Each structure stands twice: as structure tokens, then as C-alpha cells.
């Protein structure tokens, strides 16, 4: 009902009836200003014939007809005394026929039908007449996956439907449709006895998203979203309850996430898939909190991380794996979300045990037996006490001491023959005392002051710094040699290899060439990927491998490898003035802004 029609009813409260009017014959009432407010007839004390209602300015507001005190025939409401705004028909005091609302130009804006004073059948809301010719356009919405008509072809002055509703005995019942200002369907569904029932479909304003909601007795029991996201879930009493699913918006639209809700909380196993459709994550909830196993997988389905949760925090073991889940990379113990207890790290390039060869695992090759690389203790999420490192063959490689995660105490490293190589004291992470370097025969080579060490250190990591310094001072090649290379593979050549233009140009090259993988970007995965590679005598880059990955970041690894492989030639490392093959490790950070 139009707003101005409210005045038809308000004036009754302020109308002043004329005193001692007869209950038969003509009847009049007046506004306080003396203008007629009501005019009609009574017959035997009952309203009869035409009755009219007026505003204080004397303009007609409403006209209706009565018979034996009951509305009978047409009832019409006006604006400014001349514009017909509503009309309906009465029989024995009840609306029983068409109902219509009009604009000032006489165009029907709403049309429906009453029976027994209750809405029945189809009710339609119309647009204002189109002022211009509108051409028909269509476009394809990739996320919603169907072709959509943007606007109908309109003849100037033509009206179109904005909404259709169906009623039964005064209640919404049957098909319901709603259209927007460009006459596209935006809502459709079904009602049953005044309550939403079955599927309701709704579109966002920009038509990039379609929502599908399923109702039962006016209660939402299932909801789905198609567009930039494709989500579907069941509900009970208005909260998520039952299966929950998300689909990828990339080509193929494969399942992205699936799990269960119970009374609005996640409960049970949840699984996630990457953009290629491979499962990469599996975890469990109990009453809305992460509890139990959590596993991450690589593209081939091998476990890369295996952890446990309790009440939303990491608890028990946290283990990372190298390829094919056969060898641990690292293992922590957790308590209340913090690393606590023994820590282990294993070598990736393992020793070979011919006796343990299992052809069913590695046909035609020897099985790799993992060997311990490092062990120590964590307290309150930080390294504490003695950490010991081992070579692949189990020989002692180094010992270090920590306090609250910081180097504090003696650091010692050993030659391959087991004799001491370097010894350095640390206090709260800082160098303390002199650095002593021994030759493989056990003879002390030299003692270096802190000033000498710092003036030659290029590493922020103090341990890496003193190792590099000591290796250069003793010209100690890496233990691993390459058959056919007369000098061997060096980790610490006298002269380090360099990227064309220096380190700043290398980072500029990386920033200009790295493209953030779309799936990891969508899923918010970020972190540092460590890439190891060989720089040959001619400066070429080869044997590019991932040294350390980001959990769930397979795309990050592939992108980092791609960029390193496409690098231009470096200036090679040198020892004794001769080019040597050099082992190099480079961290590449992926950060979302």
C-alpha cells in the first residue's frame, strides 16, 4: 500500500462528528478547520451507498460503497483528489476480486486478487515504464558457469515484472520470483502455506555469485554458494550440521575441502585438495577444536608432515619427511602447542645398507637407510642445552650449547677422522673468546681474535660464519667429491661464486621473475623455500633441488626451482686461482601482502 494512503486512516481519529446526526439519511463529519472529512448515508442505522473521505484541504482521499452496513462494490483511494492509487472490490464486507495499485500516470504497479478477504493466486509487482530503448546484452559468468541476460529488449514506455508471488488463503504458497532494476531474475523459490519450502536461488548484485538455500518448513537446512567460492553445507536449527563441502573455482571445479559439522562446530575428519585435485591435507576436529592426527601430503600422495593436536594445539610428535615418506627430515615433541622435549633431524642423502635392500620399495636400487644428523632438547619452544650433529656415517660432526634458544657455551666441530676442527665460546648468542682451528692431524693451526673473525664474516648466522671463516683459513674442501672433477665439489672455495652484478642484482632478478602460485595465494600459504644447486666451473647452474620446503607449498617449491634454473651464468667460485664446482644454497621467501 502506498505511503500516502496512510492519511486515509489517520484522519478518522481527528474528524469531528456533527452532533445529533440521524442514523438514517445523510451523514457528515468535519475536520477541525470545518472542512468535510466524511460524507455518506445511513439506512436503518447501517452504512449504505456511496461514502467518501477527504483531506483537510478538501481533496478526495477515498471512495467506497456499502450495502446494509457492509462494503459492497469498488473501493478506490486517491492522491491529491485526482490520481487513482489503489482499487479493490468488496462483496458483503470482504475483498473478493482484483486489487491494483497505480502510479500518478495510471500505470499498474501491483496487481492481485482477493477471495474471502484473503490473498489468492498470483500477485505481480511491475516496473515503471521504461524511459528509453534498452538493448539486449548477454555475458558469461565464469564462476557461476552460465550465460546471463543483462537486460531485455524494451520498447519505450513498456513495463516489466519486478516480482511475482503466489498465495493460497492469504498465505504465500507456490512459486516466488524477484527481478532487479535491469529485469534479471535475482531470487526464485517456493513457498508452502506461508513458509519457505525447497530450493531458493539468489544472485549477488554483480552476478558473480549464486546462492542456493534449501528450506524445510521455513528452516534453512542446506546452503550452497557458487562463484568466486563454491560452498555447500547442511544446517539444523539455523546452524551448520552435517556435510560441509567447498569446490575449487579453477577449471574442473574439483572438490577443495570436505568435512562434518555437528551443531555448528567442526567435528570429525576434514580433508583438503589442491588445484590439481590431489589431496594435500587431512586433520581432525572434536567439538570445534583440532584434535588428533594432522597430515600433509605431496603431489604423489606421500606424507610430508605428520603431527598431532589436542584441544587446538600441537601435542605429542611433530614429524616432517623427505620424499616418499620413508625418511624423517625432522621430529619434535610438542606440549600445549610448543616444542618440548627431544628433537631429531635426519640426513636426506643417506648411507646405503646392502643388507636391508628391499626391491619391492626400490626396484633395481639400494634402499636408503636414514641416519641421524642432529639431536637435542627443546624447552618452552626453544633450544636448550646440548645439541649434537652427526655425519652421514654416524661420526660426530659438531656439538653446540643453547640457553633459551640462543647459543650460550661451547661450540665444537670435528674433522672426518674424529679429531677436533674448531672451538668457539658463545655468550647469549655473541662470540666470546678466541676461535681455535686445528688441522686434521690434531695440530693447532691458529687462534683468531673476535675482531679478526668479525672483519671477515659475511653470514648473519654466527655458526655458519665461523665455519666459513675457519674453512677458508684452513682451505678445507667439502667432504663430498665429484668423480671426474680434479678439484672436487667445494662448499667453501677461497673465492665464492657471484651473480652477475652482485647480490643486489640477484635479489632484483628474483623479485622481477618470481610469480606467486595461484593456489598457494588463494590458500594463504607463505614461507621460505631453500633451494640448493651447483655452480659449475663455467658459471652454469645445475642440479637444482629443494633443500627445505614450506608445508603445503608444492607450488612455491616448483616456482623457486623454475626461477633458479632460469638464472644467467654466475662468476664461478675459485680455489688456488682455478674455477671449481661449488655447492650453493639460497633461501627464497614467499610473502603475501
Q: Do 428 and 527 fall within a single domain?
A: no
pTM of the model: 0.53
Residues written for the chain: 593
Three-class DSSP labels, 47-91? EEEEEEEECCCCCEEEEEEEECCEECEEEEEEECCCEEEEEEEEE
Q: Do 64 and 9 fall within a single domain?
A: yes
The CB density around residue 323, as the number of other CB atoms within 10 Å, is 14
Q: Do 1 and 101 fall within a single domain?
A: yes
Please report whether residue 5 resides in a domain.
Answer: yes
Q: How high is the pLDDT of residue 474?
A: 62
Mean of pLDDT over the chain: 81
Q: Do 314 and 372 fall within a single domain?
A: yes
Q: Do 327 and 369 fall within a single domain?
A: yes
Q: Do 432 and 533 fall within a single domain?
A: no
Set of cell numbers at residue 126: 511491475
Q: Is the pLDDT of residue 15 over 60?
A: no
Q: Do 22 and 112 fall within a single domain?
A: yes
Q: Is the pLDDT of residue 24 over 50?
A: yes
Set of cell numbers at residue 27: 451523514
Q: Do 571 and 510 fall within a single domain?
A: yes
Please report whether residue 290 resides in a domain.
Answer: no
- State how far the Cα of 77 lies from the Cα of 85, in Å rounded to an integer: 6
Strand blocks (E) in 263-302? 265-266, 268-273, 279-286, 289-297
- The CA–CA distances, whole Å, from 55 to 16, 434, 507, 585 equal 13, 104, 81, 89
- Domain range for 532 is 490-590
- State how far the Cα of 148 lies from the Cα of 156, in Å rounded to an integer: 23
Q: Do 308 and 418 fall within a single domain?
A: no
Please report whether residue 4 resides in a domain.
Answer: yes
Q: How high is the pLDDT of residue 461?
A: 63
**Domain-ending residue, one of 89, 116, 143:** 116
Strand blocks (E) in 380-451? 382-390, 396-403, 406-407, 409-414, 420-427, 430-438, 444-448
Cell 550440521: give the residue.
241
Q: Do 316 and 409 fall within a single domain?
A: no
SS3 call for 301 = coil
Please report whether residue 168 resides in a domain.
Answer: no
pLDDT tens figures, 360-393: 443 333 444 567 889 999 998 889 999 999 887 7
Q: How high is the pLDDT of residue 519?
A: 74
- As for how many domains the chain has, the answer is 4
Burial of 79 (0-12, 13-18, 19+ CB in 10 A): buried
**Domain-ending residue, one of 116, 147, 173:** 116
Q: How high is the pLDDT of residue 475?
A: 54
Report the DSSP pairing between strands 239-247 and 328-335. Answer: unpaired
Q: What is the mean pLDDT of the segment spanning 273-293?
A: 89
pLDDT tens figures, 534-546: 998 899 999 899 8
Please report whether residue 223 resides in a domain.
Answer: no
**Domain-ending residue, one of 387, 415, 432:** 387
Q: Do 336 and 401 fall within a single domain?
A: no
Please report whether residue 74 resides in a domain.
Answer: yes
Q: Do 109 and 3 fall within a single domain?
A: yes
Q: What is the mean pLDDT of the segment spanning 300-304?
A: 85
Q: What is the mean pLDDT of the segment spanning 548-576?
A: 87
Please report whether residue 229 resides in a domain.
Answer: no
Please report whether residue 277 resides in a domain.
Answer: no
Set of cell numbers at residue 513: 621473475
pLDDT tens figures, 100-154: 999 999 999 999 999 999 999 999 999 888 665 444 444 444 444 443 444 444 4
Distant-in-sequence, close-in-space partners of 269: CB < 8 Å, separation ≥ 6: 259, 260, 282, 283, 284
Distant-in-sequence, close-in-space partners of 414: CB < 8 Å, separation ≥ 6: 395, 396, 397, 398, 420, 421
Domain with 53 in it: what CATH number? 3.90.930.1
Q: Classify the C-alpha dihedral 280-282-288-292 as positive or negative.
A: negative
Amino acid at each position: 500500500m502506498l505511503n500516502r494512503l496512510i492519511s486515509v486512516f489517520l484522519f478518522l481519529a481527528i474528524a469531528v462528528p456533527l452532533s445529533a446526526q440521524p442514523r438514517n439519511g445523510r451523514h457528515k463529519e468535519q475536520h477541525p478547520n470545518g472542512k468535510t472529512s466524511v460524507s455518506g448515508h445511513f439506512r436503518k442505522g447501517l452504512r449504505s451507498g456511496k461514502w467518501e473521505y477527504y483531506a483537510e484541504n478538501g481533496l478526495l482521499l477515498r471512495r467506497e460503497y456499502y450495502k446494509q452496513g457492509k462494503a459492497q462494490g469498488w473501493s478506490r483511494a486517491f492522491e491529491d483528489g485526482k490520481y487513482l492509487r489503489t482499487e479493490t472490490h468488496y462483496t458483503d464486507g470482504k475483498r473478493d476480486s482484483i486489487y491494483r495499485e497505480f502510479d500518478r500516470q495510471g500505470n499498474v504497479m501491483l496487481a492481485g486478487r482477493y477471495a474471502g478477504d484473503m490473498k489468492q493466486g498470483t500477485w505481480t509487482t511491475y516496473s515503471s515504464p521504461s524511459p528509453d530503448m534498452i538493448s539486449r546484452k548477454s555475458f558469461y559468468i565464469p564462476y557461476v558457469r552460465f550465460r546471463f541476460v543483462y537486460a531485455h529488449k524494451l520498447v519505450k514506455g513498456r513495463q516489466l515484472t519486478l516480482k511475482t508471488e503466489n498465495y493460497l488463503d492469504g498465505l504465500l504458497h507456490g512459486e516466488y520470483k524477484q527481478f532487479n532494476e535491469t529485469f534479471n531474475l535475482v531470487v526464485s523459490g517456493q513457498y508452502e502455506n506461508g513458509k519457505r519450502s525447497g530450493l531458493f536461488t539468489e544472485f549477488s548484485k554483480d552476478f558473480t555469485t549464486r546462492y542456493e538455500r534449501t528450506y524445510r518448513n521455513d528452516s534453512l537446512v542446506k546452503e550452497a554458494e557458487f562463484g568466486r567460492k563454491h560452498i555447500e553445507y547442511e544446517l539444523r536449527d539455523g546452524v551448520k550440521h552435517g556435510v560441509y563441502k567447498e569446490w575449487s573455482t579453477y577449471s574442473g571445479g574439483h572438490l577443495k575441502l570436505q568435512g562434518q559439522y555437528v551443531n555448528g562446530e567442526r567435528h570429525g575428519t576434514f580433508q583438503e585438495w589442491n588445484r590439481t585435485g590431489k589431496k594435500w591435507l587431512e586433520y581432525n576436529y572434536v567439538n570445534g577444536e583440532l584434535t588428533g592426527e594432522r597430515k600433509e601430503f605431496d603431489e604423489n600422495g606421500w606424507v610430508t608432515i605428520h603431527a598431532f593436536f589436542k584441544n587446538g594445539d600441537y601435542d605429542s610428535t611433530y614429524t616432517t619427511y623427505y620424499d616418499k615418506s620413508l625418511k624423517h627430515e625432522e621430529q619434535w615433541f610438542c606440549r600445549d602447542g610448543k616444542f618440548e622435549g627431544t628433537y631429531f633431524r635426519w640426513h636426506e642423502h643417506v648411507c646405503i645398507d646392502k643388507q636391508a635392500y628391499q626391491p619391492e620399495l626400490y626396484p633395481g636400487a639400494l634402499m636408503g637407510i636414514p641416519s641421524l644428523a642432529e639431536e637435542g632438547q627443546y624447552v618452552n619452544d626453544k633450544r636448550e642445552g646440548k645439541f649434537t650433529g652427526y655425519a652421514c656415517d654416524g661420526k660426530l660432526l659438531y656439538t653446540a650449547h643453547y640457553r633459551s634458544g640462543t647459543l650460550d657455551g661451547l661450540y665444537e666441530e670435528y674433522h672426518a677422522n674424529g679429531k677436533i676442527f674448531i672451538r668457539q665460546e658463545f655468550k647469549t648468542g655473541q662470540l666470546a673468546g678466541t676461535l681455535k682451528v686445528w688441522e686434521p692431524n690434531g695440530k693447532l693451526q691458529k687462534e683468531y681474535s673476535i675482531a679478526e673473525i668479525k672483519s671477515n664474516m659475511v653470514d648473519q648466522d654466527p655458526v655458519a660464519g665461523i665455519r666459513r671463516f675457519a674453512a677458508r683459513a684452513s682451505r678445507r674442501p667439502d667432504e663430498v667429491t665429484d668423480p671426474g672433477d680434479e678439484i672436487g665439489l667445494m662448499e667453501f672455495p677461497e673465492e665464492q661464486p657471484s651473480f652477475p652484478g652482485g647480490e643486489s642484482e640477484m635479489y632484483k632478478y628474483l623479485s622481477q621473475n618470481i610469480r606467486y602460485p595461484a593456489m598457494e595465494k588463494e590458500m594463504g600459504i607463505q614461507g621460505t623455500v631453500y633451494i640448493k644447486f651447483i655452480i659449475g666451473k663455467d658459471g652454469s647452474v645445475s642440479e637444482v633441488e629443494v633443500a627445505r620446503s614450506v608445508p603445503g607449498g608444492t607450488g612455491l617449491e616448483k616456482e623457486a626451482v623454475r626461477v633458479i634454473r632460469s638464472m644467467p651464468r654466475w662468476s664461478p667460485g675459485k680455489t688456488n686461482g682455478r674455477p671449481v664446482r661449488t655447492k650453493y644454497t639460497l633461501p627464497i621467501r614467499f610473502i603475501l601482502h
